[in-house]
Amino acid sequence: MSNRSLEEIHPRTILSTMKPYSPGKPIWEVQRELGLEKVIKLASNENPIGPSPLAVAAIQSSLANIHRYPDAETIDLRAAIARKLQVTSEQVIVTNGADELITLISETFLESGNNIVVPSPTFSEYEFGANLMGANVVEVPLRDDYQYDIDDILGAVTVQTKLLYLCSPNNPTGTYMKKQDLYRLMDTLPPHVLVIFDGAYSHFVTADDYCDGLELVRQGYPIVVTQTFSKIYGLAGIRVGYGVAPEKILQSIRQVKEPFNVNTLAQIGAVAAILDDAHLEATRDMNARGREQLYSALQELGLAFTQSMSNFLLVELGPDAKVIYDSLMKKGIIVRYGGAWNLPHHVRISIGTAEEHMALIKALTDILKDLKTN
């Protein structure tokens, strides 16, 4: 041991006020802590049928080349995304998960004293990015039915507002912004506000009046649409996400990006996954059926939930929500507790397979029965 002190080594003051991200508990951790063999995870909105088999095969066949640096410009993957989304390669940026893109956007646009406007409750990474840069977070509560209120959002924007985040469908509520509302908002916002449209769950939407934001990019609006390979494409573990935006905006974001942010296997897997329409359709179908299955089971249990356009449901369990969450965990079923969103009476449950739902409903039924008799 050296006798030098660490007392005078000071991290930035802002770090002492930053909230850590609380991820869904991983399966191995619950297995280890509770000594359970079978654990069902419905906590992180992952793809319950697994990754695209084409992606797995492509990754396997490229393992021998990982002594080489990845393509810093992700040329093949940007071309594949651009083709799929009918934009140009210059309008696409690829990142280490969409989470990295949120950080890069924060680093690119936010100075201390600026603010971001976010709906509330929503995904916590927006706030994280703002905090990191010393910017303030202005929360606009969703209405009681968790719908967006366009006038409230417009009313929250000031001269200090650099970014407006719209998560649609929103995590954790599953509600979305209607197309006509999105256009009204985009056409009314002052020109100094960049909109970040988080479409992590776009692929799961079945409503006709939804807009995934991509047409606004094609029309040149000041908007960045973020999407990810972590959800419908089933590649959460390999970390790849992307943004679609007017070229000029991406030029700035590229200035803060590390050259090799997306690894070789992620690039190759994602190119294969985006071409795997069968896997995407199978996932989408299963999700739509799974939502209906869960709706009716929850209704039978007398539990309230929010209609979702996503691959998760926000379920109201009342004052016992934390107890029920803990009891589910003890039975080997991981869901997400709502406390982190200031929704202490709720849990968020990811759509899983039919078997996983049966196990969940059985466990919930037993727990609710126990609570009643005690």
Ligand X SMILES: *Cc1c(COP(=O)(O)O)cnc(C)c1O
Closest distance to ligand X from the beta carbon of 167 (Å): 5
Asked whether 226 and 333 are in contact (CB, 8 A), the reply is no
CB of 99 or CB of 181, closer to ligand X: 99
Query: Residue 224 is which amino acid?
Result: V
Phi, psi of 242 (to 5 degrees): -155, 165
CB of 124 or CB of 160, closer to ligand X: 124
Closest distance to ligand X from the beta carbon of 316 (Å): 20
Closest distance to ligand X from the beta carbon of 39 (Å): 20
CB of 123 or CB of 204, closer to ligand X: 123
CA 143 to chain centre: 21
Closest distance to ligand X from the beta carbon of 335 (Å): 15
CB of 74 or CB of 327, closer to ligand X: 74
CB of 221 or CB of 229, closer to ligand X: 229
CA 240 to chain centre: 12
Asked whether 62 and 193 are in contact (CB, 8 A), the reply is no
Only one residue has tokens 């969450």, namely: 325
What is the distance between the alpha carbons of residues 356 and 297, in angstroms, rounded to a whole number? 13
Closest distance to ligand X from the beta carbon of 289 (Å): 21
With CB atoms as reference, the residue minimizing the distance to ligand X is 97
> What is residue 170's DSSP assignment?
P
CB of 167 or CB of 343, closer to ligand X: 167
Closest distance to ligand X from the beta carbon of 148 (Å): 15
Containing H/E element for 265? helix 264-274
Binding interface with ligand X (CB under 6 A) = 97-99, 123, 167, 171, 198, 200, 228, 230-231, 236, 241
- Distance between first and last Cα of the chain: 55
CB of 171 or CB of 327, closer to ligand X: 171
Asked whether 203 and 47 are in contact (CB, 8 A), the reply is no
Closest distance to ligand X from the beta carbon of 169 (Å): 9
Closest distance to ligand X from the beta carbon of 230 (Å): 3
Angle between helical axes of 264-274 and 53-61 (0-180°, round to 10): 140
CA 173 to chain centre: 12
CB of 97 or CB of 332, closer to ligand X: 97
* Long-range contacts at 247-250 (CB < 8 A, ≥ 24 apart): 247/88, 247/90, 247/91, 249/194, 249/222, 249/224, 250/90, 250/91, 250/92, 250/93
What is the distance between the alpha carbons of residues 264 and 147, in angstroms, rounded to a whole number? 40
